[in-house]
Each structure stands twice: as C-alpha cells, then as structure tokens.
C-alpha cells in the first residue's frame, strides 16, 4: 500500500505537460485524495515582502484571494502586457488545515528546513554540486528598469553594479530562510519583465510567478509550493535552482506529516470523471 505517489514531468515541460502527467497519475492511482505541486518559482520582492533567493512561497488563501491566480502574458518585449483570467480553485480543506498546523508548529519551534537540506546533501555527496546553498553574494536584486544585456555573460560581468539594490542582512533573530504565504501568479510563459512583475504584484499582491499550476489547478486542486530561484526578471541564472527545489521539497515533507490519513470522501479520479461526464464524454 502506498501513502504517497510522486510524479515528475519532462524537464522541458510547462503547464500542458504537467497537466498530462497529473491526469495519467490520477488514472493509475485512483485513490489519490490530495496533491502538492512542488518546485521553483520567481520571487517578487517589495517593501511589503522581503523575499530573497532560497526563500519559500506557499500559494495560500489570503485576504479574500484563493492563493493562485492565472494570467495571460501578451507580447515578448519590455512593452508587453498581461490580462488576469481569474483566481483558480483554492487548495482542498484538508490541505488548508495541514498548512495552518505547520505554520503554528514553525512559530512554536521554528523550522529546520535549512538544516534538513544540509543533512540530505551531506548524506548524498553527489547532490552537493547542484543542491548546496549558493554563496549569499550571488543573491543579486536589480532595479526593475535595469535589463540584462543581450549576452550570455553573467550579471557580475555584464550588468551595471550601480543598478543593484542594496539590502541589509536579515536580523539575527530571523531565520535566513523565510516562508511566505499568499498569492502565486501562474501563466504558460516565464515572467522576465521586472516592470510588469511589479505592476501585477502591486495590483494583486503577488509573491511569486510560476509556469505550471495554471494548466493543472482546475482539474487537480492542490497546494503550490515554490522555492525562490530568481526574481522574475531578465537577470535569470541557474545558481539557486537546485537549492530552491531542495528546500521546497523539505517543506512539502514537513507538510505531509501534518496530514492525517484520508480514508473517506471522493478521490481525485472520481472528481475528474464527474467533470468529463459534465462535458459529455
């Protein structure tokens, strides 16, 4: 008997392939009750939210929002625009209760996500190169109007250092990894425009951008968990991707321990078949 099933899409996949993987998983494991979507995303730092690389954003309902909004991105230049197509289904109640329990646990005892991630890497030396925490100096936030030049050179070589936004280290009484709860924006295209990022964030209080959940959420309600690997701008790099994925997975594992065994109610396959019947299939 299996309590947890894990599926991973092809590395080149975005929303459509993720939805296909989820559909196939539900057909193979017909008693699936709840789902977590775990991976990386682009953070949205602001005066209200001190989001940094290596942090975690959880798509949790807040202030009347469901935790995940879908938007369409038009164009592919700095003059591109977006159109919000709506908020998607919020996570199932069992996940919301587990989320509240984990938040309370972290407040009482503080999380040990970084320590757990470090232990995993120490016990699996082959993971060190790709999943260790990068040097904090590589966490660079640029002014929104500062665009990365059309070159393959890294930011330290290609970008204006005067465009860097200075940020003080976090207080000693804070965790160096902070977990943020709120809205995540999802589309089928990567967000690479910092000006547009800040506009959408200001209007909808978005904390993170990602490219998978929008193709999945309506048919497979779940909780979205993202480790922050970049700032949703043109200055993208691969340095933080492995570590961000690692800490998101550790958070997901902690959350699973908060979820009681679900033995009653409809499985996800029952919900999917009902939707297909409604569509006339």
pLDDT in tens, 201-234: 888 889 999 988 876 666 677 889 999 999 999 9
- Note the pLDDT of residue 225: 95
* Residue 200 belongs to domain spanning: 15-278
Rg (CA), the chain: 19
Residue 254 lies in a domain: yes
Lowest mean pLDDT across 6-10, 52-56, 110-114, 205-209: 6-10
Residue 206 lies in a domain: yes
54 or 237, higher pLDDT = 54
9 lies in a domain? no
pLDDT digits (tens, 9 = 90+) for 142-155: 999 999 998 889 99
Q: Closest Cα to residue 224, out of 26, 29, 18, 83?
A: 18
Per-residue model confidence (pLDDT) at position 187? 85
The answer to the question of residue 5 being in a domain is no
pTM: 0.86
Residues 6+ positions from 242 with CB-CB distance below 8 Å: 130, 131, 132
Sign of torsion, CA 156 157 159 160? positive
- What is the per-residue pLDDT for 230? 96
User: 146 CB contacts (<8 Å, ≥6 apart)?
Assistant: 159, 160, 163, 194
pLDDT value for 222: 81
Each residue of 96-110: pLDDT tens digit?
889 999 999 998 888
In a domain, 256, yes or no: yes
């Amino acid at each position: 008997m299996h309590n947890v099933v894990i599926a991973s899409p092809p590395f080149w996949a975005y929303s459509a392939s993720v939805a296909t993987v989820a559909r196939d998983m539900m057909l193979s494991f017909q008693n699936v009750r709840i789902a977590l979507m775990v991976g990386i995303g682009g953070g949205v730092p602001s005066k209200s939210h001190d989001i940094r690389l290596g942090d975690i954003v959880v798509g949790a309902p807040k202030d009347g929002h469901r935790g995940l909004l879908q938007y369409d991105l038009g164009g592919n230049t700095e003059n591109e625009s977006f159109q919000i197509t709506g908020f998607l289904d919020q996570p199932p109640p069992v996940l919301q209760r587990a989320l509240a329990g984990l938040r309370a646990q972290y407040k009482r005892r503080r999380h040990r996500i970084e320590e757990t991630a470090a232990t995993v890497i120490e016990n699996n030396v082959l993971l060190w190169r790709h999943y260790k925490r990068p040097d904090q100096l590589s966490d660079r936030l640029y002014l929104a109007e500062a665009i990365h030049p059309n070159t393959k050179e890294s930011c330290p070589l290609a970008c204006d250092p005067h465009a860097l936004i200075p940020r003080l280290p976090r207080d000693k009484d804070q965790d160096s990894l902070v977990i943020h709860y709120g809205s995540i924006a999802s589309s089928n295209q990567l967000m690479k425009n910092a000006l547009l990022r800040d506009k959408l964030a200001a209007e909808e209080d978005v904390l993170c951008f990602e490219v998978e959940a929008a193709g999945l959420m309506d048919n497979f309600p779940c909780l979205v968990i993202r480790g922050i690997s970049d700032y949703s701008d043109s200055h993208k790099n691969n340095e933080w991707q492995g570590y961000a994925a690692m800490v998101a997975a550790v958070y997901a594992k902690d959350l699973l321990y908060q979820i009681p065994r679900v033995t009653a109610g409809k499985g996800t396959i029952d919900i999917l078949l009902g939707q297909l019947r409604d569509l006339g299939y």
